[in-house]
Structure 1
Amino acid sequence: MEIGLVVDAACDLPPAFLAERGVEVLPIGIRLGERQLQDVRDPERTAAFYRERLDRRTELHAQSHPLDPAAVEATLLERWATRYDHLVCMTITSARSPIYAHATRAALTVGTRAREKRRAEGLPLRWGATVINSRSMFAGQAVLAWEAVRLREAGATLGELELRLRALAERIHTYLVADDLYFVLHRAARKGDRSVNWASYALGNLLDVKPILHCHRDTTGPVAKARGFDAGVRRVFDNVLAEAGRGLEVPCVCVSYAGALDRLEQMPGFAAFRAELEAAGHTVLVSQMSKTGAVNVGVGSLCVAFAAAQHRFS
């Protein structure tokens, strides 16, 4: 059975990893003022988005919106119905986006048309799609997808892969430090995120206090505050290293940054953070945050994710 792995465009995996390991991308629509475009994790377009600062700091200027169920169905049918025998689609947390609901609906309705298309090309008629809620976002989705790739390459059966991914989604921890709380206050709130209110926004601006946000099992909220962006990032790094020392569920840590990656490379503590993880045998995947992520949490945000059975921020 040829198993296809699909992520939505909010999943922060490096473009080279997506291409080399055969991970497909479900687009997400973005409105930038009067412009409509799609986020498909294209590296050149993503780099241009940050380089040209296409997103502006105005509340109504930009908004992401997922494909509707009919558009998802058409994408599954046109791109992957004949290429794969079964799709495993991993989506951003259902608490922040209807992508999971739309993809699930499409997976239930596309089967007959997919089989007709396969019959016309002389392929076996058996075809299906599984949709898995990552219960996480951005770099957190990437951890789940990394494990899906590992399992597929190891020859896991579809049943084994589905069972493992659903269990792993319960153990993914994603941390985010936003450089500009305006985006989280105004835009992420539209996606159901209430982690920053007007009081914390005003205090943050006055004292340069940055909340450290934690996403786990579909719930996002603040777990700590730091005086300044770099201090918040260091606290996240320290917590990840401590958890890695106790043992991660999978040997992979994913990091994404909403901006040029050379800024990430220059952040205090990042080089040591990556070196320590790699020395311990962990894969560290670094990616630009998707345009979808950036329009919701703001340019300059940092996201770090891993999977652990037992974890508490300290």
Structure 2
Amino acid sequence: MGLAIDASCDLPQAFLQKHNIAVMPITIRVDDEIFLDNRSQVELHRFLDRNLGSRSHSAETEPCSIEEVQKLFLDKLVLEQDCVFCLTITATRSAINDHVIKASFAVLKNYRDVRERNNVTGPFLMRVIDTRSLFAGSGPAIVEATRLIDAGEAPAAIRERLTYIANNSYGYMLPRDLYYLRARAKKKGDRSVGLMSAVLGSALDIKPLLRGYRGETGPVGKVRGFEHGAETLFDYAAKRVHAGLLVPAVCVSYGGDLAELAKLPGYDGLRAACEECGVELMEAPMSITGMVNVGEGAVTLGFAAEEHVAEF
């Protein structure tokens, strides 16, 4: 059994390589420049080194097309595995989930001929899971998938468990630049970040804490100053770690040089809580897609836990 994810699911490259996780890429166009977001560190650094800054909010993003998903599976994955789980960021914010579902019809219709030509026998299963979250918030379901596969669980049991984890995954984001976030939202026709809130928030250095949960995204709190916001978010996550998680992992991503993450206030406390409770703290650079959509310097954090009220 294997896994495929879309590029905007934020997890460390070493983790993806260890578990042989296929990445469905996203094409980014910023003016006349094209970037292929496939979680490649080379492409990520090329994007960061270009200092595109304020221009990125006007970027066009193209998720892996139906035809490209079909090609990935029929040229490669159906020959390497007998069952592949595809995990994507929430369908309410990206077309990738819909593309993968539509591609699956052709894959399941045509895989037999491909496998027979290559002397591969037996049926092939393809299952699509909507993580119902964004960026690092998609991480817990993917981590759980690797645990279940390593434990030799049956596909039906894995699908049921991943659906449960997706429904109980919490993804949080702290943006650094509200003007950028508002410009990007306007570009996409999203009215969730109004001009006045962006102007007032920037003038007073007030940042919203945003949450992705069960396909819905929106603010759950406000903090004054980015560093104070980071401390508030990390302190909250540390408390949830102590309260108990459904998957023993906290996923964190940063929109820039990952070395900056550990310098933020409260991060040492989160790391200590994870070590004390046997929870893996998984750090990853934010995808190019993530930075285009929410701005460089943003923090996202994800974990899976029983339903609870967030208090900020």
The TM-score with structure 1 as length reference comes to 0.95
CA distance in 1, matches of 2:56, 2:289: 15
C-alpha distance in 2 between matches for 1:68 and 1:159 = 27
Across the two proteins, how many residue pairs are aligned to each other? 311
Question: 1:125: how far off?
Answer: 4.3
Alignment-derived partner of residue 136 in structure 2: 139
* Partner SS for 1:304: strand
For residues 137 and 29 of structure 2, the distance between their equivalents in structure 1, rounded to whole angstroms, comes to 24
The alpha-carbon distance between structure 1 residues 58 and 107, as it changes in their structure 2 partners (threshold 3 A), is: same
**Which residue in the other structure is 2:150 paired with?**
153
Partner of 1:91: 88
- Identical amino acids, percent of aligned pairs: 37
Equivalences for 1:257-272 in 2 at 5 Å?
257-272=254-269
**2:112 paired with 1:101:** no
Which residue of structure 2 aligns with residue 248 of structure 1? 245
Name the structure 1 match of 2:27: 29
Deviations 1:84-140 (A, max 9, x none): 111100001001001000100000122232211101011114112111100001101
Q: 2:81 is aligned with what amino acid?
A: Y
CA distance in 2, matches of 1:18, 1:59: 27
Q: Deviations over 1:210-269 (max 9, x none)?
A: 100010001000111111101111111121112222111111100000000111111112
Please state if 1:311 is matched with 2:308.
yes
Q: In the alignment, which residue of structure 2 is the partner of 1:207?
A: 204
Partner-residue secondary structure (3-state), 2:79: coil
Match of 1:119 in 2: 116
Q: CA deviation at 1:191?
A: 5.4
- The residue identity in structure 2 corresponding to 1:18 is L
Is residue 2:199 matched to residue 1:198?
Answer: no
**Residue equivalent to 1:182:** 179
Contact 2:35 2:47 in 1 (8 A): no
Deviation for aligned residue 1:44: 2.3
Shift of 1:198: 1.1
Distance 1:237 1:60 in 2: 27
| 1:173 equivalent in structure 2 | 170
Moved more, 19-28 or 284-293: 19-28
The alignment's C-alpha RMSD in Å is 1.5
Report the CA distance shift for 1:20/1:95 in structure 2 as closer, same or farther (over 3 A): same
Structure with more of its chain in helix, by fraction: 2
1:176–1:302 contact (8 Å) kept in structure 2: yes
The match for 2:125 among 112, 125, 128 is 128
Alignment of 1:267-282 (within 5 A): 267-282=264-279
2:38 is matched with 40
AA aligned opposite 2:141: L
Letter in 2 for 1:167: Y
Q: Is the 8 A contact 2:179 2:199 kept in 1?
A: no
Q: Which amino acid aligns with 1:201?
A: A
**Misfit runs of 4+, over 6 Å:** none
Shift of 1:37: 2.7
Structure 1 residue runs without a partner (length 5+): none
CA distance in 1: counterparts of 2:188 and 2:88, whole angstroms: 15
TM-score (norm 2): 0.95
Counterpart of 2:11?
Answer: 13
Structure 2: give runs of 5+ residues left out of the alignment: none
